[in-house]
Each structure stands twice: as C-alpha cells, then as structure tokens.
Amino acid sequence: MTNVKYIYSEDLLRYRFSDSHPFNQMRLKLTTDLLMDLGVLTTQHILKPRVATDEELMLVHEPNYIEAIKKAGQGTLPESEYEKYGLASEDTPQFVNMHENSALVVGGTLTAVDAVMSGEVTCACHLGGGLHHGFKGKASGFCIYNDSAVAIQYIQSKYKQRVLYIDTDAHHGDGVQWSFYTNEDVMNYSIHETGRYLFPGTGALTERGDGKGFGTTVNVPLDAYTEDESYLDVFQETVEAVCESYKPDVILSVNGVDIHYLDPLTHLSCTLDTLYKIPYIVKDLADKYCDGKVIMIGGGGYNIWRVVPRAWSHVWFALNDLQTPHSPIPKSWIEKYQSQAPVPLPETWTDELDDYMEIPRQKEISEKNNNTKHRILEWFK
Amino acid sequence: MLVEKIMTSPCTTIRGDKSIEDALVLMTQKEIRHLPIVDEHDQLLGIISDRDIKMALPSILSDDDPNQSLSLSISKIMRRNVIRCHPLDFVEDIAIDFYEMSIGSIPVIRDNKVIGIVTQKDMLNTFLELTGVTMPGSIIEVHIDDKVGALHDITGIFKEQNIDILNVLAYTDQENINKRYLMLRIKSMNPEKIYQLLEEKEYHVIHPFGMKHD
Ligand SMILES: [Zn+2]
C-alpha cells in the first residue's frame, strides 16, 4: 500500500516535435530511472496514464481544434490551415500521431487527478504534464492540449471542488490564465520571469482576472536575474497568503524547472536549492489547507541532463516526505546515460556553480521584487 | 487607424428629459462611466460621466436630501459643448483631444446622430494592441544604425529561421539620433538561435540588464 502515485509510461516520450526540438521528454525517463536506481520509486507506485477522451479535451478545447490536431497527426490537414491552429511555427510544428500522443499527456494528468480525488491516494504526480501554454483553439509555446486547464475544469465539473493552481514554471502560464480569467471558482497563481523579454510576454501584476473572476488570478512577475534568495522570499509569502485566503480543497501545481541558471531559455538564475524547496513548500500548503491533497505535474525544463532529473526527483521526495539523499547520484544511473549525454552527468546533488555568474544589479532587482511582493500581500490583508 | 475601427457602436445614450437617477441606474446596469445625452432625433445635447453625477449629489456631510437631487433632469447637470468626432477621423488625432482636454470619452457623430463612443480605455487598448501584447511571443530588442535596409537585413534572419514576426516597433535613441531601437515581438519561445545569428552579423542585441546569457 502506498499513499502516493507516480504516473508514467514510456509512451509519454512520443510527445516529440522533432529530434532537435528543445522540448524533450527523455527527461521523464531520466528522472524515473534515477528515482528507481535510488530505490525510492518502485513499480507499485506507478500508474499508467490513460488517454483523455474527446469529451474531456472539450472541457477546454474547441471541437474544430481537436479535429484539426487529429488530421494534422495523420498528415491530412491542408497546410493552409496550419497557421490558424498554431502549427505553422517552429515552437509547435505538426508531428505524426500528435493527437494521440497529446491526449495521453492530458490523460496522465487526469489519471493523477482521479487517483487523488477518488480518495485512493492523498497525492500524485505526473511529470509528463504541465503544458500550460496551450490555448482553447490554438497550439502555442511547445503545448498542444493544455492538460493543466483540462484538469482544473475536470476537478470542477466532476468533483465540484475548489482548486488552487500554482505555477512555478519560469514562463507565465498564459493558456491556463485565459481559460479561467472570468471564473471565480479557480484560484490561478503564477510566479514567473517578467514578460519584458521572455515568452509569452504576459503575466503582469495588473492581470488579476475580469468580471466575477476579478481577484482570482494572481501574477507574480520577477525580474531577470532574480536568484534564490529573492525568489524564495517572494514565492513563500505570496503563495501562502493566496492559499490562506482562498482555502482550496485541492492544489494542482506545475513544476517547470526552467528557472535554473543553466536553463537555455530563461534568465531567473536560480540554483537547485530553490528548485528543491519549491515542491516542499507546496506540499506543506496542501498538508495545512487541503488535508494533503495535491497533484503535482511537470512543465518546462530544457537542460535535461544537468538540471531536470535532480530537480524533478525532489517533486517525488517532497510528496513522500523524503529528504535529499546523503549519498551521491547512483553510479548505475550515470553509467546508463553518460554515453548519450553531450555534457558530463552530475555526480552529486548540488550545483557545480563553475559557470555561475555574479549579478551586478542584484540589490535593485531584489528591491523591485520586494515591491511586487508587498503589492500582492496588500490584496490579501 | 480610423475611429470606426475602435469605437463602441451602437452605444448607450439617454434622453435629455430623464432624471439623474435614471442615468445612474442605466450606467450601473450597463457598467459604463460615460453617457451621451440625446434628443428624440438622436442628436447630441451633452454628456455626463459618473464623476459629474457624484459631484452633483449633495455630500454625505450635508443635510440636503439626496433624493431630491436624484429626481432632477439630467440636462441640468450635463456638460454641453462636447468634443465630438467622426468615424473617419484618425485615432492619432483624437488621442490629442483626450490628452489636451483631459476628457474621458468622445462621442462619435454621423449625419448629426450619435452612433458610437470612444473612451480612454478604448484608446489604451488600441495602443496595447499596437505593441502586440495580445499575442504570445518573445521580445528581441536591437540597437541599430538608422540607415536604409537595416530592417530588411534583420527581418531576413527571421525569415531564414522560419520565425513569425508578430509586431515591430522602432524608436529613436534620444542620446544618439543616428541610432534606433528596434523592438520585435516574435512567435517563438526559443529565440537563442536568433540572438546568435544577430550577434554574428554584429548587431547589438539588448539583453535583460545589458547582460549576456550563455
Ligand atoms: Zn517554461
């Protein structure tokens, strides 16, 4: 009997745009094998992801979009239609069986949701999920179907529960935000690098929801080069204030690990320390406010060798109340993958920091983030 | 851009013989803050805003009965001599009216009838849309020499990489009039390759806080 489930199957690796595309689910296999080699994950923890049905996808997505993705995956969608559905871009190009493979990602997140909401387990994780940029009728930012948004709507429709969505990916969770912008029954919290330069460009402090949903969207934009101390300070205080005020029944969290300084796409400059702490902070909130009920899913993370496996291991550690191992990274894991990796695989659980750089304007950046924090805390007083 | 592109049309109006209370109820119901006042032929008589009404009502500190004020005719407190515009006016031109006259809205008149309204909010939304912020994208800022063909050279790199440009803004460098800043909003989550190609061609790409990301 275990009280935590891990959703995984190698079929999830087929969500792949091309051999050279930065979104590479090989990171799921790397993380799963690392956890298995450590002996903290066994086959009895694992649930296979199911495929989301069309009706489930339609909780968020438009029927004609789903049809277009089906056709595109079979090569029968006219190329003139690609642009309309976001498939003409280098970010989300057409690939074979894209509907089936994307519906499996959504199904994985729903498998995790059902495991928790049915009461079978207290918490579950599906690191293959977290595709938070998908729009209801358009692919965007490496995302086809938005499993996070579908899961939120699914929890609302099927279980009638209040969800707190926590998104710590470096990018703003725009697809989820626009799905629930006027909805008062979802609290949508996203902490991310400001859109000043970074994709998708949204997620400003002033985006707070609209109509009845005003106040149920909270955006925490952080400056480039924020670093650990300021990140954790702002995150901890704001997320706790939101949780305390909203009193959710369950938490769904997106654990993108692209805030790391070695991530090629972003500039928040955090280290593994912060990435290790985030899932514990979220787990503690779930314990304190939701009887422990939490579903953790994946998200971005584009340094798949040196960052993602170590960071995502801690999602599993946090859910199981385990700490960072004292022993080094298992030799068996390094031996298995070193020949495929273009960089030396890490041998310990801490950052090497040899290519970490000093931030010249750190004091000002922290000050600005601190102002952002206080403005948000004001709303919840 | 023309006013007819951004105006709200048709718009809510009220007749001049109605009371202040009627106007207040209508504005609350429709969630609007500006209300043109018209005669039976839809000709513009005046305009009021929610602020005008608040100022017309007795202060909570006074002994006057607010109900009495509420029953007064709206034409008593409306602003006359309203600045108006035509659907074919340029948005840039009415922007100057908004700025210089410090007003919150401008009614749109055609054939002597009120057919729509443009508010400050519409103006701001239009500007925001011009910056491309409504479409997901990354922003790349390049500091370039103000010379013929610079834009062509740069956009050529995006074409080669098959990356869609959503928006382009150019503004002069105040410190060096021979230079310009070019702000491109592009449909790509992964602009690293573009940064690299621009730098190879010795374009000066602005990084966050002037730092280089490796
Ligand atoms: Zn991301």
The residue of chain A nearest to residue B158, with distances taken between CA atoms, is: A90
Q: What is the pLDDT of residue B213?
A: 45
Among the partner-chain residues B141, B187, B208, the one whose CB lies closest to the CB of A89 is B187
CA angle, A202 as apex, B160 and A257 as ends, to 5°?
Answer: 80
* Res. B208 pLDDT band, cuts 50 70 90: confident
B141 and A197 in contact by Cβ < 8 A? Answer: yes
B208 to A267: CB separation less than 8 angstroms, yes or no:
yes
Dist CA B76 CA B57 (whole Å): 12
Q: How far is A201 from chain B (nearest CA, A)?
A: 6
Q: Give B117-155 pLDDT, tens digit per residue.
A: 999 999 988 888 887 777 899 999 999 998 888 889 999
The minimal CB distance from B213 to the residues A267, A359, A365 is found for: A267
The interface predicted TM-score (ipTM) is: 0.80
Closest B-chain CA to A262: B214
Quick one: closest CA in B to A193, which residue?
Answer: B208
Q: What number is the average pLDDT over the span A287-301?
A: 97
In this structure, are residues B115 and B164 in contact, taking their beta carbons and an 8 Å threshold?
Answer: no
> In this predicted structure, what is the pLDDT of residue B214?
42
Q: Tokens 């090629």 map to which residue? A: A264
Mean pLDDT of all residues belonging to chain A: 95
Q: Does B188 contact A90 at a Cβ distance shorter than 8 Å?
A: yes
Which are the catalytic amino acids of A?
133
pLDDT of residue A140: 95
Mean pLDDT of A289-299: 97
Distance CA B123, CA B126 (A): 5
Neighbours of B122 (CB within 10 A): 17
B189–A201 CB contact, under 8 Å? no
- Taking each helix axis from N to C end, the angle separating A362-379 and A227-246, rounded to the nearest 10 degrees, works out to 0
**Taking an 8 Å Cβ-Cβ cutoff, which residues of chain A contact chain B?**
22, 88-91, 133, 140-142, 171, 174, 195-202, 223-225, 264-265, 267, 355, 357, 359-361, 365
Residue type, A163: V
**CB of B211 within 8 Å of any CB in chain A?**
yes
Q: Tell me if chain A has a CB within 8 Å of the CB of B8.
A: no
What does the pLDDT look like over A337-352, one tens digit per residue?
Answer: 999 999 999 999 999 8
Ligand 1 centroid to Cα of residue A132, in Å, is: 9
The residues placing their C-beta within 5 Å of ligand 1, an ion, are: A 169-171, 256, 258, 300
Tens-digit pLDDT profile for residues A313-332: 999 999 999 999 999 999 99
CB contact under 8 A, B190 and A265: yes
Does B172 score more than 70 pLDDT? yes
Class of residue B42 by CB neighbours under 10 A (exposed 0-12, middle 13-18, buried 19+): middle
CA geometry: angle B155, B159, B160, nearest 5 deg: 115
A142: chain B residues, CB-CB within 8 Å: 189
CA distance A230 to B206: 24
Task: State the pLDDT confidence band at A360, using cuts at 50, 70 and 90.
Answer: confident
d(CA A203, CA A222): 10
What gap in Å lies between CA A108 and CA A51, rounded to an integer?
7
DSSP string, A189-255: EEEEE-TTTSTT----TT----GGGTTSEEEEEE-TT-HHHHHHHHHHHHHHHHHHHH--SEEEEE-
The DSSP secondary-structure symbol of A344 reads P
Q: Cβ B190–A197 below 8 Å, yes or no?
A: no
B196 CA: distance to closest CA in chain A (Å): 13
- Which pLDDT belongs to residue A294? 98
Percent of chain A residues topping a pLDDT of 70: 99
Residue B7: its pLDDT value, please?
Answer: 95
B172 close to A (CB below 8 A): no
Q: Minimal Cα distance from A83: which residue of B?
A: B164
Answer whether B139 touches A (CB < 8 Å).
yes
Measured in angstroms, the CA of A114 and the nearest CA of chain B are apart by: 32
* Residues in B touching A223 (Cβ below 8 Å): 208
Give the number of A-B residue pairs with CB atoms closer than 8 Å.
Answer: 74
Other beta carbons less than 10 A from residue B44's beta carbon: 19
